[in-house]
Structure 1
Amino acid sequence: MILSWKNRRALNKKNSNHRFCEDLDAEINIPTHFRCPISLDLMKDPVTICTGITYDRENIERWIEAGNETCPSTKQVLNTFDQIPNHILRRMIQDWCVQNRSLGVERIPTPRIPVSPFEVSEICSRIARATQRGDGSRCVELVRKIKNWGNESERNKRCIIENGTGCVLSACFESFAGGGDSFQKHVNLLVEILSVLSWMFPLGEEGRSKLETESSLRCIIWLLRNGDLSARQASVLVLKEILHSGETGIIPNTLREIEGVVEALFYLIREPISPAATKASLMAIYCMISSTAKNKDKITSRFVEMGLVGVIVEAIVEAEKSVCEIALGVLDEICNTKKGREEACKNGLITAVLVKKLLRVSNWATELSASILWKLCEEESVRIEAIQVGAFKKLLVSLQVGCGEKMRRKVKELLKLLNVYNNGLDSCSCVDSSVDFKFLKRPS
């Protein structure tokens, strides 16, 4: 079969105009047995299954994971899902790539053999034994090996997760995090464990319980405040997962006794180190202030005192969709408290920013923005400003295009409040509530 293989090569500059010749297209005859029967693409990691047919590993694994139990080519039922690397064919493909290098074909790298469940179980046993001995150096070596396996492929990550690694690593973390400040001797190990655990959630109940202990949480918060950038990011990702998956109300109460957690999360938003860390910090704050814990108002008050309202409003202005939604969720929870509403009303940007996000980011962001406006419109100054920046028209449109019953009630109440100030403004009073806006589509 002939497959068009585009060879993009920019030739030397000609004349003083610095013009380039057009790219050249070359057609290369790819041998049929070099192509995967599933994708028809050149195989990078050929493996042979029990029927004797060779496929690219990624494609046949995707086929099997989809629930298929037959060979894609022969339709025979697979007696075993074992995949044997076809080293001879892989070398032939690599040689062919080298022969056609002048035409722009890149040599495929020699693939790494995927990790097996046996290897994962064996290394977990070694970590458990090293933990019992208190051998932190050995644990670091083993955890880094697991980390390297996970970095090689998503398949390796799935294999690692499915074979109980999370529980073993959590137990190891708890063991070396205990004993007061002695965990500082094992900071490298603890950071490596957190960096692996950050992509292993949700953990089982046993593994999560190891991370929810006071000693583990104190260690995580210490790393969040004092670690380097990678340590802080790994810590906040794990903390977010602990809060998100833990029993409502219990973990925030535990964190209340740990000094510095509020400050650590606040500084990660005020001085962001990465989008992932910012999102995790916002989610952790949301879990803490939206819980049923008795101390949530005290925690919220502390965040407000530190200036979280202003930081969030500034972050929302240019935030991407997911960050914007989480930030609005945090702001909505803050405005459930009197102190939070008072601080929000003092912010000169908040009304304009909230109106800007209506019907612009997503349905959820629109509902949150309307909810916050509804809470802040107790103040007359906010109602007047909302009219001036076009809130009436946007709220009317959101009501016409459809919204949930809870939001509908809030929007109607908001429109009644704003209509008092709307009569004198021609730009808004010209909008008739009977106009049909069904042709408008809200953002997905």
Structure 2
Amino acid sequence: MASYWRTPKPGRKIPFIKKSPVENPIMEPSIPTHFRCPISLDLMKDPVTVSTGITYDRHSIETWFEVGNQTCPVTNNVLKSEELIPNHSLRRMIQDWCVANRSLGIERIPTPRIPVTPIQVSELLSEIASASRRGDRARCRELVAKIKALGRESERNWRCIVSGGAGRVLSASFSELAAGSFDNSTSGVLEEILSALAACFPLDEEAHWHIGSPESLNSLVLILNCGDLAGRLNAVLMLKELVSSLDADRINVVADTDGLIEALVKLIEKPISPQTTKASLVTTFYLASSSEMTAVKFVEMGLVSLLLEILVDSDKSMCEKALAVLDGVLESKKGRETASDHSLAVPVLVKKMFRVSDMATGFAVSALWKLCKNYEQERGEGCLVEALQVGAFQKLLLLLQVGCTGTTKEKASELLKLLNGMRGRGECIETVDFKALKRPF
């Protein structure tokens, strides 16, 4: 096997050889030294031998290689390759020892599955590509299911599958099959491919090109509308992956796909799972932020009202995403007019300035600023007076005292100036509620 070495991955910790095991001889039997991995000093579950003849647990030595090491941890000799030879004899000895000590609470380690090889992955992907070109949906679905099964066996298998180019091959197969007639058999294989592709994120530019084809986008919309729960989730995850990597012009092409905006709004209006809703919101954010025309389409579909309803009672992550989308659609005049006419808009934005997250605070201030800054030309003084009545002035002062930076600070300061000019025309709700009470002093 040819030798190759990976560069260290950022954030990965380099494994080290422990000096001595910590044992409790009263609670458990002593593990024979040659059954322990020299790196982790734990009982080996999948012993493999490197070219120097030293045996390690597969997970430990593969982690050693992944961070860029090229030596044998014990001998410190440079290894000629990363080839790992399963040590079946030692593994059977370890299993026998586990069985012999079962009464002491030792569980028998299962026989490990043989990891998939790059050659096997290449052959499977080649068969998938060939089956999709022939239009053999049944065979393609069978092979994709096999790829998924291999990936589920271990994280290592998925890494091997992804590094073998699965994203490009599967996305090309999706595009080719999507070009044919759409029926139940097509829907089934396309949903199977989407399920496999979701484990290959992030996809490269070639894969994005295949998924961004008109045929693929039309099929994604059909799955969003007619697919099963898993299919709809994977379809919106694929759209999220696609639009988050494209420039504005290409996003506009995606947004022009017939029925796409309606399908996304439907998923937000009638949620099928929190993950699906969040992915739909992120996808909507990228689409609505790409052009005012697209934002207006979302507004006309009733998105502003849906977002405000989500913001009334939702978790931190959902709030952040809903505020981001609302801030995006308020770039359009139609979005600002719709939000100004909604009774929840200003109170909800003021409420979400605190106690969610810094990100939510930034979006809430930005959205309120967009509603108020053009009040003279668009909606009169209603938003400013309403903001004063629900305590925006006090909250913005507190926000600046607590500390905020960048554009959030600039917009909060500008909002305070606008509100200060209106303070004689509106009164904070807290003051109105208690002005009739007699003070005890």
Structure 2 length as normaliser, TM-score? 0.83
CA shift in 2, pair 1:42/1:133, >3 Å = same
Indicate the residue corresponding to 1:204 in structure 2: 204
Q: Show CA shifts across 1:70-124 (max 9, x none).
A: 2222222222111122222323333333344444443333222221111111111
The 1:98/1:350 distance shift into structure 2, 3 A limit, reads: farther
Q: Which amino acid aligns with 1:77?
A: V
Q: Find out whether 1:233 has 2:233 as its counterpart.
A: yes
Question: Per-residue CA shift, 1:135-178, capped at 9, x if unaligned?
Answer: 21111111111111222222222211111222221221111111
- Letter paired with 2:384: R
Q: CA deviation at 1:257?
A: 4.2
Once the 2 structures are TM-superposed, how far is the Cα of residue 4 of structure 1 from its aligned partner? Answer: 4.6
Q: Percent identity?
A: 53
Partner residue, 1:338:
333
Contact residue 292 and residue 332 of structure 2 kept, 8 A: yes
Amino acid at match of 1:345: S
Q: Is the 8 A contact 1:223 1:231 kept in 2?
A: yes
Q: Displacement, 1:372?
A: 0.8
State the superposition RMSD in angstroms. Answer: 2.6
Correspondence 1:193-342 to 2 at 5 A:
193-258=193-258, 260-291=259-290, 296-342=291-337
Could you tell me which amino acid in structure 2 is paired with residue 157 of structure 1? W
Deviating more after overlay: 245-254 vs 164-173: 245-254
Secondary structure at 2:43 match in 1: coil
| Cα distance, 1:133–1:410 mapped onto 2, change above 3 Å | same
Q: Using a 3 Å threshold, how does the CA distance of structure 1 residues 405 and 111 change in structure 2: closer, same or farther?
A: same
Is contact 2:289–2:295 with CA below 8 Å preserved after alignment? Answer: no
Give the distance between the partners of 1:323 and 1:233, measured in 2 at CA.
16
- Which residue in 1 is equivalent to 2:353? 358
- Specify the alignment match of 1:3 in structure 2: 23
1:372 pairs with 2:372: no
Of the structure 1 ranges 320-329 and 156-165, higher mean CA displacement relative to structure 2 is found in 320-329
Q: Deviations over 1:362-386 (max 9, x none)?
A: 3222211110111223464443444
- Cα distance change on mapping 1:34 and 1:311 into 2, 3 Å: farther
- C-alpha distance in 2 between matches for 1:317 and 1:145: 44
Inter-CA distance 26–184: structure 2 relative to 1 (3 Å threshold): same
Q: What's the offset of the Cα at 1:410? A: 0.5
> Which letter does structure 1 place at the counterpart of 2:129?
A
Distance 2:41 2:391 in 1: 55
Task: Provide the residue aligned with 1:129 in structure 2.
Answer: 130
Residue 403 of structure 1 pairs with residue 398 of structure 2: no
Cα-to-partner distance string for 1:401-442 (whole Å, 9 max, x where unaligned): 4433322211101122333566866979xxxxxxxxxxxxxx
| 1:218 shift after superposition | 0.6
3-state SS of 2:248 partner: coil
In structure 1, stretches of 5+ residues that fail to align are 6-24, 429-444
> Any unmatched runs of 5+ in structure 2?
1-20, 432-441
1:2–1:29 Cα contact (<8 Å) kept: no
| SS of match in other structure, 2:144 | helix
Q: Report what 1:161 is aligned to.
A: 162
3-state SS, counterpart of residue 111 of structure 2 = coil
Provide, for residues 263-310 of structure 1, a one-character-per-residue CA deviation record: whole Å limited to 9, x for no partner: 21112122222232222211111111111xxxx333322322332222
User: CA separation in 2, counterparts of 1:311 and 1:410?
Assistant: 25
Greater Cα shift, 168-177 or 309-318: 309-318
Structure-1 residue corresponding to 2:5: none
Are 1:64 and 2:71 an aligned pair?
no
**Shift of residue 39, structure 1, vs aligned partner:** 2.4
Within 2, Cα distance between the matches of 1:60 and 1:264?
47
CA shift at 1:3, angstroms? 2.6
Residues 274 and 84 from structure 1, CA distance in 2 versus in 1: closer, same or farther, beyond 3 angstroms?
A: farther
- Contact 1:202–1:245 (8 Å) recurs in 2: no
Aligned-pair CA distance for 1:66: 0.9
Residues 36-51 of structure 1: pairs in structure 2 closer than 5 A? 36-51=37-52
**Corresponding residue for 1:86?**
87
How many Å apart are 1:2 and its aligned residue? 5.5
Tell me whether 165-174 or 249-258 shows the greater mean CA deviation: 249-258
- Name the CA distance, whole Å, in 2 between partners of 1:421 and 1:373: 15
Given that 2:151 and 2:158 are in contact with CA atoms closer than 8 Å, whether structure 1 keeps it comes out as yes
1:103/1:391 CA distance change after superposition, 3 Å: farther
Are residues 360 and 76 of structure 1, via their aligned partners in 2, closer, same or farther at CA, if it must alter by over 3 Å?
farther
CA distance in 1, matches of 2:308, 2:226: 27
Which segments of structure 1 move beyond 6 Å, counting only runs of 4 or more?
none
Equivalent position of 2:435 in the other structure: none
| Inter-partner Cα distance in structure 2 for 1:311 and 1:28 | 61
| Matched position secondary structure for 2:244 | helix
Indicate how the Cα distance of structure 1 residues 348 and 425 shifts in structure 2: closer, same or farther if over 3 A, else same.
closer
TM-score (norm 1): 0.82
Displacement of 1:254: 4.4
Tell me, in whole angstroms, the C-alpha distance in 1 between the residues paired with 2:428 and 2:56. Answer: 69
Query: Match of 1:367, SS?
Result: helix
Rounded to whole Å, the distance in 1 between the matches of 2:403 and 2:226 is: 48
